[in-house]
A and B are shown apart, each in its own frame.
Chain A
Amino acid sequence: MKKKLLVSLLSCSMVLGMLAGCGQSASTDSAPAAPAADTASEPAATETEAEAPAAEAPAADSGEDVTITFMASQDWIQDAEMELGEKFTEQTGIKVDYQIVPSDQYESLLMTKINAGECTDIFGGQSSQFSIVTQFDVEKNAVDLSGESWAGNVDPAAAVELSVDGKLYGQPIQDVSACWAVAYNISLFDELGLSIPTNYAEFCDVCEQIKAAGVIPIYECVSDGWHHVCWTEAAIAATQADPSYPDALNNNTATFEGNKELTTMFTQLKELADLGYMGDNYMSNEYADAPASIASGEYAMVLYNQGLGAEVNAADPSFPEDNIGYFVNPLCDNQALNVNYCGPSRFIFSGSKNIDAAKKYLEFMASDESLAYMTENVGKFNQLPFSNAPSAYSKVVQDFYDRYPTKVAVFQASVKYYNPAWMDIGADMSAMFLGEMTPDEVLKDIDKLRAEQAVAASDPAWNQ
């Protein structure tokens, strides 16, 4: 009897489950890409600093069943953006499903999804006038956003890195005015009587004194797969030594292998690790722990963008935000500012069934209020690359930019097939740290990685 009852109950629940499932899919199918309310483009003005832009209108009925998916690498989607996403849902009824992927796995996953034609509605990708063509093939895989209301507000330098033949395909996510520089604990430097190094030898001297004081000089996090590659932005030293070098690399008339500055750069980086300046755990440290590690006083410096002060302060409120200063990456005795107008960006997948809803989201994120909210609530965002975004440079950051008048574009922006190989270069550098590869072998492998892509892309410079 009991068995029969149980069987009947299970059967009923199965039937109900099936019916519910069918019902849901039917309602979703019936309203694909329904246009959201006009209010999406008009988020209400923010009155307080702590609150996300308030909803001006009640939930729109037209977008109720639409959920847009947005996949991005870890650290690309900030908490503030997800808070804005909730407001966006309140205003338009369009839900946003954020799919945040560990950074060391993101690139493989994204490219597999794009190449399989099954990508999310919005995907995050690094901008670069070269790699958005060779890697993402945005003309095929992304939606042209040139006609969007916010397109004209994108900083021209950033827009170039997101455009193909004058058509804009992406929307910047982060502050691209920031650069990867050595962030340091100012009070510790003052305590030890240290001054900002102006070349590699001085940097080593600084590290030695910090280490002698019982503090680990540099926080490095190889396990993420990408952060340690940021040290290679010192390759601008090669551009300074020969301004035609990036063009020669793009024309396949020069190689990474054998370049004096690049060899020095990798050799010096390996030396920093071997001398113990990165501590014992640099292979397993994680990027997300950098602010807390600096705040704890365990580490003195980290290669970071110009938002570390706020993040360290958030990790430990007793650590003043302006106690973090910056100086340029000193490998190869570099003293120029490594500028890069490329950065994580949002693209709408051309195969998406929710293109209109995704466009509404991008429009919402580019509104005055959303940009202001992001700038106020994300420490590393000082100046988002939009003409309608506010500026929030602190004195420390402004001093840093003023100290280095020479600006040179990094390889990520100026050299073809370099950015798409970023994670592979990271794996090579990881092997170099472990002693499995020499700096020369890393350089040789970068040439090989670039050549593979160029040949596959039928680049005439490689296929003659």
Chain B
Amino acid sequence: MPLRILHGINKLKTALKRGCLAAVRQPHLIKGTNNMNKNRIYPRYFAYGALIIYFVFFFLPGLIGVGYSFTDWSAYSDELHYVGFQNFKTVFSADENYMKIITNTLEFTLITTILKNVIGLILALLLTKSIRLLNMHRGIVFMPSVLSTLIIGMIFKSILDPKSGLLNSFFRSIGLDMLAQKWLVSSELAFGSVMAVDIWRGVGYIMTILIAGILSISSDYYEAAAIDGAGGWKKFWYITFPLILPTLATTTVLNVIYGLKVFDMVYALTNGGPGKATTEVLYTAVFKKFGTGQYAVGTALSSVMFVIMIIVGMYMIRVMTKNEVVE
């Protein structure tokens, strides 16, 4: 059986090679395309408007924000003094909770990204089969993504209420009392519960993107593999998965950016609690610092976040562009 599959894959490789050879044998086709592209390159000054807008409204405020993190800017005083790395010392001080907040944010990002991708992929594979009421199923899974996160948060706060919530009432009604937990108010379960609700909300969106990716794979590959006797798992592992990797990279980027910037779900469900910072993430902490008028510490936290995002972003770009061919 594996030999047959290898044979099929070799056939694919051969077909790809033939395509490349054809291009080599007919260079005028490629040359013509290049000339066309060259003619279509617009003058550089066309980009100046967009660059100026981006610089003034995005880049400059970001720089100013970083600058403020070296001052004692607060709502209590109109004066501004340079304090060096004082705010960053506070952020990284062992007496403070900020390191836990940064860890929480990274943990949230990592876990939700992995689980959203895995569950989204499983759902996408299931919902690209010929099943009854396919669009209805897709619609149901996608629906949470279009609802307001705050509304979802408030609904789940009620569902997860330990005393009268729907979930615990259900467990009690079927005799599984031991599963009835303090989902949002216990320090062991709160963060997991928040992540679970967020995964439930976001998985439909990821699934939709992956469905588009799966549907773009030509059925010829599956037919060839089927002729060679490949089963469902082999088809997935040798055809679907490699060809959907670029789509998975896109969903990963989307999830990572969302995870690092998460605010509303945590705000609505626990507001950072229970306790001091059980579910606190960077943006809820920044929001609270601005709320109490401690702008400088807030901007320092934002700057730390900025650096983390740059590092993560650069790493992801490097990984994603590793296999790209530069002309």
Contacts and interface: CB of A to CB of B under 8 A. Distances in A.
A284 B276 contact: no
A457 B78 CA distance: 10
Interface stretch (A24-32, A392-400, A427-435): A427-435
A286 to B, nearest CB: 9
Interface size for chain A: under 10, 10 to 19, 20 to 34, or 35 or more residues?
Answer: 35 or more
Interface stretch (A11-19, A107-115, A241-249): A107-115
A428 B276 contact: yes
B294 A108 contact: no
B27 to A, nearest CB: 45
Contacts of B95: 448
A105 interface: yes
Nearest to A426: B273
Interface in B268-327: 271-278, 287-288, 290-295
A431 to B, nearest CB: 4
B275 A115 contact: no
B274 A283 contact: yes
A296 interface: no
Nearest to A445: B276
B75 A427 contact: no
A420 interface: yes
A458 B75 contact: no
Interface string A271-282: 000000000110
A104 B278 CA distance: 15
Contacts of B72: 456
A436 B276 contact: yes
B162 A434 contact: no
A111 B291 contact: yes
A250 to B, nearest CB: 16
A225 B271 CA distance: 10
A206 to B, nearest CB: 24
Interface string A116-145: 000000000000000000110100000000
Interface string B183-197: 011110000000000
A457 B76 contact: yes
Contacts of A419: none
Interface in B251-282: 267, 271-278
B291 A283 contact: no
A453 B294 CA distance: 8
A223 interface: yes
A222 interface: yes
A111 B292 contact: yes
Contacts of A458: 76-77, 79
A108 B291 contact: yes
A115 B295 CA distance: 10
Given A111-B293, A281-B162, A284-B161, A456 B273 contact: no
Given A111-B75, A284-B185, A434 B293 contact: no
Contacts of B276: 427-428, 430-431, 436-437
A115 B293 contact: yes
Interface string B109-151: 0000000000000000000000000000000000000000000
Nearest to A454: B76
B192 to A, nearest CB: 15
Contacts of B278: 434
Given A112-B287, A430-B273, A436-B276, A283 B76 contact: no
B235 interface: no
Contacts, number: 95
A108 B287 contact: yes
A205 interface: no
Contact of A430 (B79, B184, B274, B295): B274
A433 B163 CA distance: 18
Question: Which of B267, B290, B293 lies at the interface centre, i.e. has the most chain A CB atoms within 10 A of its CB?
Answer: B293
Contacts of B234: none
Contact of A436 (B163, B184, B187): B187
Interface in A68-112: 104-105, 107-112
A107 B287 CA distance: 11
A452 interface: yes
Contacts of A420: 292
Contacts of A223: 185, 273-274
Interface in A221-254: 222-223, 225
A449 to B, nearest CB: 9
A99 B100 CA distance: 33
Contact of A283 (B185, B271, B292): B185
Contacts of B295: 115
Contacts of A285: 163
B232 to A, nearest CB: 42
Contact of A284 (B162, B275, B277, B292): B162
A135 B292 CA distance: 8
A283 B182 contact: yes
Nearest to B291: A108
Contacts of B77: 456-458
Contacts of B267: 105
B288 A108 contact: yes
A456 B90 CA distance: 14
A433 B185 CA distance: 11
13 contacts: A108-B288, A108-B292, A110-B291, A111-B292, A112-B291, A223-B274, A225-B273, A281-B162, A284-B184, A424-B292, A434-B186, A434-B274, A458-B79
Given A111-B291, A430-B276, 4 more contacts: A114-B75, A281-B162, A283-B182, A283-B185
Interface of B: 72, 74-77, 79, 95, 161-163, 182, 184-187, 267, 271-278, 287-288, 290-295
Please provide the 8 A-B residue pairs with the shortest distance between their CB atoms, ordered closest to farther: A108-B291, A431-B275, A283-B185, A457-B76, A456-B74, A431-B276, A111-B291, A456-B76
